[in-house]
Structure 1
């Protein structure tokens, strides 16, 4: 058999398979096609055949050797055929069938001759002849015609075939005008056979070498920008001219890279084409945008259309523009809690409606549905948590199951601020701490004096063997002023004062004796006197203990993988610590600690039975009482009781029915707090995710689930919901207990703290600083995405970014 005939038989075989099974018409296995071609075509062709008079790409079939050719197939409109199918692609590239005149069968009527001419097939290169049907077909319409009916010439050249050989003018009629269906199919055929025929490629011929050099040059620019993005550094320089000694981070880094590598030097900077150096500001911004797009794409793919929670907050940047930062909290495919930064949006005002519009717009830009929101986390501002027109209420109208949780870390900070402002002893103490900073922190000279005195005392202690030396020990330490908006700053300040107490006292004494500071002696000596009083030391140690317990809680709350149920447990533990301090044993331990501190630094401890004398204050403002009443009842117990009360008032979520039901899934102690009824009630909080049919299926699934968990040794060491989620995915049991895992994910989605959003603002102050205060909003967003989500950015390949860059717009690849 001839090779062309064998190809036709092979295509006929594949087409018959598709006709027999229309459902699988789009499925073609490349391996099967390749094996069939090798087994049937690689046969030695010994049959003689006449030469082909047609075009080089046209196929010719001899009627004696090819009784069935592709023209016998059902037209393309009858079943779906994949354009990229290997067999069909080869069929298209071969072109239509070109018969010989002697291949036509004789007419049925005797004495009649067929009005046939081979010139038709030479003039109309789209014609294809079918031996079996004895008809002509339009090759391009058969493959690329979009509509089955309509158009000049009807479907005679597609379905039934053309047989009226006496009317060759029908060929011209089928072709029609410029906008005819045939010409549209012909254009699609031409584009398929000869790709890259766009006008851009026609006007400017680009060789493969030019494309390779362009991508190489682009890759080196990308690598320099990658480094700068991950470090949050600036790209542009003040003077980028060739005569400048500092052309900016990007150009200097690219220059350094070229100097150390000859292969790089061949294609960049001066050795690049004049209009294709790829270092202009626009090119830099496009590459940065592509980096941000691909980084965000990986985050969205990791989310995979699942439910998520939003964490949002607003703050002004260096150019005094209000920016709204948005983070997503979700459970990934491995069961881990993830909090990812999505982007920042400039908002003209901070009303709840404006914030809601900005959030929804940002979500839709990344193809995220607001109906998938299952949790909200903001600070305690009225525009955020308002019951009527607050942001949480507006979001819940979009998604009723998006329950709001006030940031736990922010609530804890409010507890400490409330205690510091409402208790008279605490107010006096923090006022004197502020005076202390105003004296010591007013000049660099006094800071240097503090460092010198500390260094001298450390050397003396080392010589006397009181302290040890080693890596990380006895570091230089200063004083930092506490701030109400900086979580943990009060505790850090108290720690430094306790550790540097003798150093600070020595500095105050030296300043108080310095003749050059004579005008401030009264204020300095007053602060020094208060600093070494028992009142100051007592409050100092009390704040150290109270803030120490709450600081551990604050650090735990700010972890990214913290779940809300475990956070409530930590809040309960903090309350228990406060209650232990309130007991008589707690008071005795604390008093012993204060007494030891006073004896160490030579401070007189007043007798408990003696009358209280206020240091530096008039006795008119204090009732007559003993020192024990003052320090134990009024100060110590007063502060502890107020902390407990504020914790109860601020963390009112513990009384929410939602969280009470969540506690039933706590895995601690082999699910000791498990309650099936509470879990069923928990499922009812999410009617859009768990239907009534799912509720019927959930009840028996819970019984099997709890028995399995308590018997499986792998789950005995699980201590919180995050570990339970990961362990279920590891053991593949999240598939078996799908509804339980769904509830578990919904619980984990509820946010604990907005620490990640606060970290965004810290990063924003690094990326957009005083020297880069003119950055646009889009550039700021792209830089923040790659800088904050560096862990995701490093997994984005250079090739992916280059492809995105090339697809962004048409580029000139050579000079």
Structure 2
């Protein structure tokens, strides 16, 4: 049986007879058992009307008696006499004869919806007011409907742009524009909206070009930055944070962030932007920071803190960025980023201690041998599955990461026998002499007690520094609280420097040595004292009596060195101001005399606080904590202030200002590091030609996900439409 076509659904005698349709709404049964029609000549397939078509095409009317579909809107328009047909056979099928070609139902319905006849019917039945015959009003009403549809389409385009920017997904694909991620997402959303699909099929005014994308991205990013600027301006004081990063196209980039404290005494760190610079000289970086503050409408007179790394261009005493900013605003205290400082302290300890330096160098060589060779990586996975399936895998030692040293050494200890078997098996399949020598060298070092002692001791010490580093990266942590954590960590490391602690460590080490098959410890070769030290000295020099004494000496040296390195790196000039601020609060709460600290603070922050009012309010703070069972610290005072309502805080408003000055100074440049990682995610090898403006806008929207979610797209599109008259004529007013 031949398939039923759209034009042969009824006899020629009744082809121009209007069907009897309901007056109010089309018949759309969703639970009707639609009859099957055969289609095809050689291979017959039975198909039926689909109830899902009602959702996509709300104008469909289904005749259950004849199994035919009609266009309810077109039939109503013809009945009014305002719609005249001129021999359009395909469109007549939806009006007179009925449509029944279910094989091509979706395509047929879509073509009819996009036809001029259907659009005219919509204007007659829906768009044009029925109560007036004024032509001007009819045309104006039709224009309003068209503009409303255009605005909805533009809003969907903007939503797609916002989604891709928020998720950090590339807009382009690896083919032409039609295959790009952006266009495919647009077409995906158009499947549920026939009006949007018709908009995309235009030859012009589609508003999907890369230029339009850039313009909308800029408007969205500017709105996010305006929101951040209003937030920082509201709470007055802020701190500057900056870091440098090189992107995939080998351009030097400077990331700028701001830290501020709200009325609830909660710190907020916000990424502001990324700037490409030709040089990282201090003068250029200062100009970038000044330009950023100018664009954000933030006076530098309210800058109370700076946090950068310890490079000479940033922390130089004479011409560094911190020094130049301090010349303009002396109250902008510079804090060497605690994360960088701790990383440098750990690096100093490792470099100046032979046994730790050798242990980490050999571990880094292992990382290269395993990770740079798929063959050795496969051998390692096979051996690990056979010998230690339940043990965590080997973790690469990355010299530039702050918190992976201890975990990498721990993974070596757990996989010791697996790694030894790996070097032995890998030597049999390697033909390159250089690689073979490296494998033999690593295997030899793993057999020595010195290396084993170094990784076990390094893992014990670096666990404390890695844990401290993770804590210092909390954006809510203030510089004063960070110093307390540093002191606590140093005290903990100092407690390990006892003979009893070493004895426990030594017993644990010997137990592991027996399990891993490492050689026994031995005394180092005795060396004669140099002649220049022998003159006038009767001492024969110190020689340990046993291997345990020799390694105990190195154990104590490592602990002394890591504690001294941390204390040296964290003994910063800016901490003097912080310490005085903190002592004013703590000593007052404890009822102790703080006259010297108070005089320093009043003199340093003379324009920020009312000295006479502050002294009066400090007495109130003393009275509040006079009955405390324990000595209150800074956090106790902060918690008390948070518990007060805003009107109640007016009683001790100057104390609140002091606490804000403490909290606004950051401990670690914690926001710049994730932002730098976001740069590498956005500007990849395939996106290396991205312009600086587009990168900056994408980065703002990607980093500030919550603010991007809360973005008012209507306001952005209102600014977009107001750019020229053509857009206003096309979209009207949002």
Q: TM-score range by the shorter chain?
A: 0.7 to 0.9
1:288 aligned onto 2:237 = no
| Structure 1 residues 405 and 533: CA distance shift in structure 2, 3 A | same
1:262-661 superposed matches below 5 A = 262=193, 265-266=196-197, 268-270=199-201, 273-305=202-234, 306-459=236-389, 477-483=393-399, 485-514=400-429, 521-606=436-521, 611-612=523-524, 625=544, 626-633=546-553, 635-653=554-572, 656-661=575-580
Q: Supply the distance in 2 between the matched residues of 1:674 and 1:564 (Cα, whole angstroms).
A: 24
1:735 offset after TM fit, Å? 2.6
Deviation at 1:661, TM superposition (A): 1.1
2:184 is the counterpart of 1:252: yes
1:761 aligns with 2:676: yes
Q: 1:438 to 1:776 in 2, by over 3 A?
A: closer
In 1, Cα distance between equivalents of 2:560 and 2:693: 50
Give the 3 Å change call, closer, same or farther, for CA 322–592 of structure 1 in structure 2: same
Contact kept? 2:405, 2:466, Cα under 8 Å: no
Aligned to 1:169: none
Work out whether residues 282 and 321 of structure 2, in 8 Å CA contact, stay in contact via their aligned partners in 1: yes
Residues 318 and 515 (structure 1 numbering): CA distance in 2 closer, same or farther, change over 3 Å? closer
Q: Is the Cα–Cα contact under 8 Å of residues 378 and 407 in structure 1 kept in the other structure?
A: yes
Aligned residues of 1:563 and 1:722 also touching (Cα < 8 A): no
Query: Do residues 778 (structure 1) and 693 (structure 2) align?
Result: yes
Report matched runs for 1:153-192 at 5 Å. none
Does the CA contact (< 8 Å) of 1:768 and 1:775 recur in 2? Answer: yes
Tell me what 2:635 maps to: 720
How far apart, CA to CA, are the structure 1 residues paired with 2:491 and 2:573? 15
**Secondary structure at 1:486's aligned position in 2?**
coil
Q: Tell whether the 8 Å contact from 1:294 to 1:801 is kept in structure 2 after alignment.
A: yes
TM-superposed deviation, 1:405:
0.6
CA gap 1:811/1:296 in 2 versus in 1, 3 angstroms? farther
Please report how far the alpha carbon of residue 783 of structure 1 lies from its aligned counterpart in structure 2 after TM superposition: 0.5
Normalising by the residue count of structure 1, what TM-score does the alignment of the two structures yield?
A: 0.66
Larger radius of gyration: 1
Matches within 5 A, 1:674-753: 675=594, 678-690=597-609, 694-709=610-625, 720=635, 723-724=638-639, 727-728=642-643, 732-753=647-668
CA contact (8 A) 1:302 1:333 kept: no
Residue of structure 2 in register with 1:221 after alignment: 157
CA RMSD of aligned residues (A): 3.1
- Structure 1 pair 707/415, CA: closer, same or farther in 2 (3 Å)? same
Q: CA deviation at 1:666?
A: 6.1
2:125 equivalent to 1:210: no
Contact 1:718/1:724, CA 8 A, preserved across alignment = no
Q: Distance in 1 between matches of 2:640 and 2:155?
A: 40
Give the CA deviation at 1:301: 2.1
Change (3 A) 1:578 1:515: closer
Q: Answer whether contact 2:523 2:550 (CA < 8 A) is retained.
A: no
Contact 1:229–1:787 (CA<8 Å) still a contact in 2?
yes
* 1:230 and 2:166 aligned: yes
Change (3 A) 1:264 1:591: farther
Q: Deviations over 1:642-701 (max 9, x none)?
A: 1121122111138943122133256699758884652453233212312xxx10111011
- Which has the higher mean CA deviation after the structures are superposed, 415-424 or 592-601? 592-601
Gap change, CA 1:265 and 1:750, over 3 Å in 2: same
User: Which residue does 1:35 correspond to in 2?
Assistant: none
User: In the aligned structure 1, how far is the partner of 2:588 from the partner of 2:617?
Assistant: 21
User: Structure 2 vs 1, CA of residues 321 and 449 (structure 1 numbering), >3 Å: closer, same or farther?
Assistant: same
Q: Secondary structure at 2:330's aligned position in 1?
A: coil
Structure 2: give runs of 5+ residues left out of the alignment. Answer: 1-139, 531-540
Give the drift of 1:727.
Answer: 1.4
The 2-side partners of 1:251 and 1:728 are apart by: 51
C-alpha distance in 1, partners of 2:488/2:173?
53
CA contact (8 A) 2:588 2:622 kept: no
Aligned length: 579
Distance 1:417 1:394 in 2: 29
Is contact 2:388-2:415 (8 Å) kept?
Answer: no
Do the aligned partners of 1:664 and 1:673 also contact (CA within 8 Å) in 2? no
What is the Cα deviation at residue 540 of structure 1?
Answer: 0.6
Q: Is the 8 A contact 2:306 2:335 kept in 1?
A: yes
Looking at structure 2, the residues matched to 386 and 518 of structure 1 have their Cα atoms a distance apart, in angstroms, of: 47
Deviation, 1:441, is 3.2
- Go from structure 1 to structure 2 and tell me whether the alpha carbon gap of 1:223 and 1:358 turns closer, same or farther (over 3 Å shift): same
Structure 2 CA distance for aligned equivalents of residues 738 and 533 of structure 1? 64
Structure 2 counterpart SS, 1:814: helix
CA displacement at 1:397 relative to structure 2? 2.2
Please tell me whether the aligned partners of residues 488 and 551 of structure 1 are also in contact (alpha carbons under 8 angstroms).
yes
Q: Which residue of 1 aligns with 2:704?
A: 789
Give the drift of 1:702. 0.7
TM-score (ref. length: structure 2): 0.73
- Specify the SS of the correspondent of 2:607: coil
Question: What is the rounded CA distance, in whole Å, between the counterparts of 1:254 and 1:602 in structure 2?
Answer: 62
